[in-house]
Amino acid sequence: MAAPVAYRAPMNTPSTRPRADLLDPAALAQLGGIEFIAREVVEGFIMGLHRSPHRGFSAEYAELRAYQPGDDLRYIDWRMYGRSDRYYVKQFEEETNLRAYLLVDVSESMAWSSNPGTQPSKLWYAQHLSAALGLVLARQGDAVGMAAFHHEIVDRLDAKGGRRHWHELTRRLNALSSGGGTSAETALRELAIRLRRRGLVVLVSDLLVARDETLTALKYLRHRGHEVLVLHLIDPGERELPAASEARFFDPESESELLVSVADIREEYREAVREALQEWRRDLRPHGIEYEVVDTDAPLSLALRAYLRKRERLG
């Protein structure tokens, strides 16, 4: 009789390891620091583009393409091979000369999470999404800058290209903390005045702002010739009221509170949220401003794809 063979669990090999861009934020937050997470997310995202039917995406966004017989072996990306068990070669293309600016909301409301300790805050999501977007831009050869704001701009980084600049961008993003009320229109107008060269402005915010003034400022950016993408961050607890019999609404910026019966207002609340999101879309789209709702319990790849669609239209 043959000796029994002990069972050994399969190792988490590069080909079977879950792609970081598909992980939910709670799992993603356990992986490490902001640079590591951003790199893992972007590499997983790029890997997904290579395997998707949209073949034109991979070369433009990843600086890589599938290996073909006759390609110079010196340009094989061995790191990508280790992760995907497939051969890709590095491409060297001219810079696209796009200048992108990440406008990150750091107001007090961005620190909120409906499930503290498990669900990362909206600010965490904004920081890591912005770092991943910055890396995608850097890999494309584009220049990326950043401005963080609440009722005023609290940090700013000029748009430049290259990996060294991306490291500085992630350092600045990681150092951000929440505080103060929100005045997106102030930051948007200041940015519009400072930007002498047309570019792409990406607003990452929960949009708990003065609506009319913010719309006017976004339209002003478009009037100045800038492309605009709004990523509206929504915590799952903002879409649906909790199962409890009562809920206490708290405004972290004004510190006011209101205790209500959940059963009495659940459907009305749900409809009000739906209508508010639809209003943003209706008000922005006619002016050529892209608008995407981003749930902060969803993988970062969904927001990256929103950027990808916008970038593709820019050529």
Are 290 and 143 members of one domain?
Answer: yes
3-state per-residue secondary structure call for 253-312:
CCCCEEEEEHHHHHHHHHHHHHHHHHHHHHHHHHHCCEEEEEECCCCHHHHHHHHHHHHH
Domain tally for the chain? 2
Are 52 and 84 members of one domain?
Answer: yes
Cα-Cα end-to-end distance for the chain: 67
pLDDT on residue 1 = 44
- Residue 82 resides in a domain: yes
Are 107 and 53 members of one domain?
Answer: no
User: Domain holding 307: CATH number?
Assistant: 3.40.50.410
What region, left, alpha or beta, does residue 288 occupy, with left being phi > 0 and alpha being psi -120 to 50 degrees? left
CA dihedral 12, 14, 18, 23 (to 10 degrees): 120
Are 48 and 164 members of one domain?
Answer: no
Are 251 and 180 members of one domain?
Answer: yes
Burial of 273 (0-12, 13-18, 19+ CB in 10 A): middle
Ordered per-residue pLDDT tens for the chain, 315 residues:
444 444 344 444 444 568 899 999 999 999 999 999 999 999 999 887 765 544 434 334 345 667 777 777 777 777 777 777 777 776 554 444 689 999 999 999 999 998 998 999 999 999 999 999 999 998 888 899 999 999 889 999 999 988 899 999 999 999 999 988 777 888 888 888 888 788 999 999 999 988 999 999 999 999 888 999 999 999 998 887 666 656 666 666 667 776 766 666 777 888 889 999 999 999 999 999 999 999 999 999 999 998 888 877 775
Alpha-helical regions (H) of 141-261: 163-174, 184-194, 211-223, 236-239
Are 81 and 141 members of one domain?
Answer: no
Domain of residue 130 covers: 99-314
Q: Which of 47, 63, 90 is the last residue of a domain?
A: 90
Are 287 and 212 members of one domain?
Answer: yes
Are 37 and 184 members of one domain?
Answer: no
Q: Which of 36, 68, 90 is the last residue of a domain?
A: 90
Q: Which residue has the tokens 């991943």?
A: 132
Q: Which residues contact 264 (CB under 8 A, 6 or more apart)?
A: none
- Residue 14 resides in a domain: no
- Residue 123 resides in a domain: yes
Long-range CB pairs of 252-258, under 8 A, 24+ apart, other chains included: 252/108, 252/109, 252/111, 252/112, 253/107, 253/108, 253/109, 253/180, 253/181, 253/182, 253/208, 254/181
Supply 150's token pair. 């609440």
Supply 200's token pair. 């792409």
pLDDT on residue 77 = 77
- SS3 for 223? helix
- Residue 10 resides in a domain: no
Are 235 and 252 members of one domain?
Answer: yes
pTM of the model: 0.78
Q: Which of 69, 90, 111 is the last residue of a domain?
A: 90
pLDDT on residue 120 = 95
- List, for residues 283-293, the tens digit of each pLDDT value: 999 999 999 99
Nearest CA to 51 out of 23, 82, 88 is that of 88
pLDDT on residue 83 = 73
- SS3 for 35? helix
Are 238 and 275 members of one domain?
Answer: yes
